[in-house]
A and B are shown apart, each in its own frame.
Chain A
């Protein structure tokens, strides 16, 4: 029997604007395309869409908005780029339609995305914490986050991961008839000596017995792949390990540090959107960094920490 091969959906979120997320995702897509994988990049950056600029697509007659508004088939929105194997579905800058997406609409979009003919579907999610972003993130096969080594950005991303996990926890407990249990417990956390999400999980386990245990078991495949962008030195590389660690020890999730991209002074200084679409401007070092990241994400591996002797 002929079975159509399934695509794998990677959702890339950043928590905060200005982390270079769209640059990173475009490089990931380009690398995957270069190793002969068919890639479709979908710009779901509600209101802040700029993916088209990275691939020099000028006219944006077709955008993801058309799928919602006019029920245009998703596959007809797929637009070719200059790069072989790489196609995009552009987002819409002015759309506000995403503010009111119902959960079943999101599921519908996802079922259509799953049917697209590609090896990898990359979702460029917007910044911020809105429920659309969180839900798209949770529905993906692989959850990828991009941040920069600045404490505000890392704090912001940590909050994003926490919110995402919390939503998933609530959702699962809801399925098992414990709707709002986690939410109510969290709201009264100070009375119960709960500080971290991990404490909350322990509390849920204790109080709800077997049911909580089952729900929590399903959380075990909740895994975040971390990418650090614009890294300048070895101490900044380590911020990624620190972020990974607090995800594991403070939230209790599985996290992998997929890699980092070194800050390319030349590239960012000469940044303009027309140049972005020109592959020549991407340094070899950046390409190597991206290759390592993609390989790690595919194989569920991570980079190892290096510590020099004088530390």
Chain B
């Protein structure tokens, strides 16, 4: 459900989007009491409504509460998720130069499987494995490596340009070392 579709439920419970879950619940309890129990001093004004109309209002209040309860639960889960990601990100070690080994370590800290990155980025799994293990001889031509590295780095929320530059530097150093 689109989040703006919840607007009418906030309106029904007479609260706003920045209200907390407790505020929402309290407002619900008060309104339910107001329109169904007729025991508040203001009740004479409400009794002017037909029983049918009162029931309709109560029904709408109940529906709004049920929907918003789910809304707040989802929001809570989302918050937990972002919080977890934030904590994981803070644990990511910093590297002067990012090579295959560094990529692997960062990925592990973030708790992401290579399969998932392959799925999300469209980079074939075997290339991702070879990138991490720095099996330069098995990698495709440079232009592909560059694209794959960028996609890989993006999945790990890293600076894509830095990753490409670092990786190529290490690769060239390695190759010139052999010669």
Please give the residue numbers on chain A whose beta carbons come within 8 Å of chain B beta carbons, in ascending order.
149, 151, 154-155, 158, 195-196, 238-239, 241-246, 248-250, 304-307, 311
Complex Cα–Cα for A249 and B23 (A): 19
Smallest distance from the beta carbon of A240 to chain B beta carbons, Å? 10
Q: Are A195 and B29 in contact (CB under 8 A)?
A: no
Which residues of B from 17 to 48 have beta carbons under 8 Å from A? 19-20, 23, 26-27, 29-31, 34-35, 40-42, 44-46, 48
- Contact partners of B44 in chain A: CB under 8 A: 151, 155
Interface size class of B (residues with CB under 8 A): 20 to 34
The A interface is mostly helix, strand or loop, or mixed, namely helix
The answer to the question of B109 belonging to the interface, with a C-beta cut-off of 8 Å to chain A, is no
Complex Cα–Cα for A238 and B40 (A): 10
Q: Are B30 and A241 in contact (CB under 8 A)?
A: yes
- Partner of A245 from the list B34, B48, B53 (CB cut-off 8 Å) is B34
Complex Cα–Cα for A248 and B53 (A): 14
Which residues of B from 73 to 102 have beta carbons under 8 Å from A? none
- Contact partners of A248 in chain B: CB under 8 A: 11, 14
* Chain B residue nearest in CB terms to A306: B26
Smallest distance from the beta carbon of A206 to chain B beta carbons, Å? 17
- Contact partners of A304 in chain B: CB under 8 A: 15, 19-20, 23, 26-27
Q: Are A238 and B48 in contact (CB under 8 A)?
A: no
User: 25 A-B residue contacts at CB 8 Å?
Assistant: A149-B41, A151-B44, A154-B41, A155-B44, A195-B49, A196-B48, A196-B49, A196-B53, A238-B30, A239-B41, A239-B42, A241-B27, A242-B42, A244-B14, A245-B14, A245-B31, A245-B34, A248-B11, A249-B35, A250-B49, A304-B26, A304-B27, A305-B27, A306-B26, A307-B29
- Contact partners of B41 in chain A: CB under 8 A: 149, 151, 154, 239
- Partner of B48 from the list A151, A195, A242, A243 (CB cut-off 8 Å) is A195
* Chain A residue nearest in CB terms to B19: A304
- Contact partners of A238 in chain B: CB under 8 A: 30, 40
The answer to the question of B57 belonging to the interface, with a C-beta cut-off of 8 Å to chain A, is yes
* Chain B residue nearest in CB terms to A154: B42
Q: Are B19 and A249 in contact (CB under 8 A)?
A: no
- Contact partners of A246 in chain B: CB under 8 A: 42, 45-46
Q: Are A307 and B42 in contact (CB under 8 A)?
A: no
- Contact partners of B45 in chain A: CB under 8 A: 154-155, 158, 246, 250
Extra inter-chain contacts (14) besides given A195-B50, A195-B53, A305-B26, CB under 8 Å? A155-B44, A195-B48, A196-B49, A238-B30, A239-B42, A241-B14, A245-B30, A246-B42, A250-B46, A304-B19, A304-B23, A306-B26, A307-B26, A307-B30
Which of A154, A158, A244, A249 is packed against the most chain B CB atoms within 10 Å?
Answer: A249
Complex Cα–Cα for A151 and B42 (A): 6
- Contact partners of B57 in chain A: CB under 8 A: 249
Smallest distance from the beta carbon of A241 to chain B beta carbons, Å? 6
- Contact partners of A149 in chain B: CB under 8 A: 41
Complex Cα–Cα for A196 and B42 (A): 16
Beyond A195-B49, A248-B14, A250-B49, whether A305 also contacts B42 by CB under 8 A is no
- Contact partners of B23 in chain A: CB under 8 A: 304-305
Smallest distance from the beta carbon of A19 to chain B beta carbons, Å? 16
* Chain B residue nearest in CB terms to A255: B14
Those 4 A-B pairs whose CB atoms lie nearest each other, nearest first: A304-B23, A242-B42, A307-B26, A305-B26
Complex Cα–Cα for A86 and B137 (A): 82
Smallest distance from the beta carbon of B106 to chain A beta carbons, Å? 43
- Contact partners of A154 in chain B: CB under 8 A: 41-42, 45
* Chain A residue nearest in CB terms to B15: A304
Smallest distance from the beta carbon of B144 to chain A beta carbons, Å? 55
Smallest distance from the beta carbon of B179 to chain A beta carbons, Å? 70
- Partner of B29 from the list A151, A196, A311 (CB cut-off 8 Å) is A311
Q: Are A243 and B42 in contact (CB under 8 A)?
A: yes
Complex Cα–Cα for A307 and B25 (A): 9
* Chain A residue nearest in CB terms to B53: A195
Which of B14, B23, B44 is packed against the most chain A CB atoms within 10 Å?
Answer: B14
- Contact partners of B14 in chain A: CB under 8 A: 241, 244-245, 248
Smallest distance from the beta carbon of A22 to chain B beta carbons, Å? 25
Smallest distance from the beta carbon of B119 to chain A beta carbons, Å? 44
Beyond A304-B15, A304-B26, whether A242 also contacts B49 by CB under 8 A is no
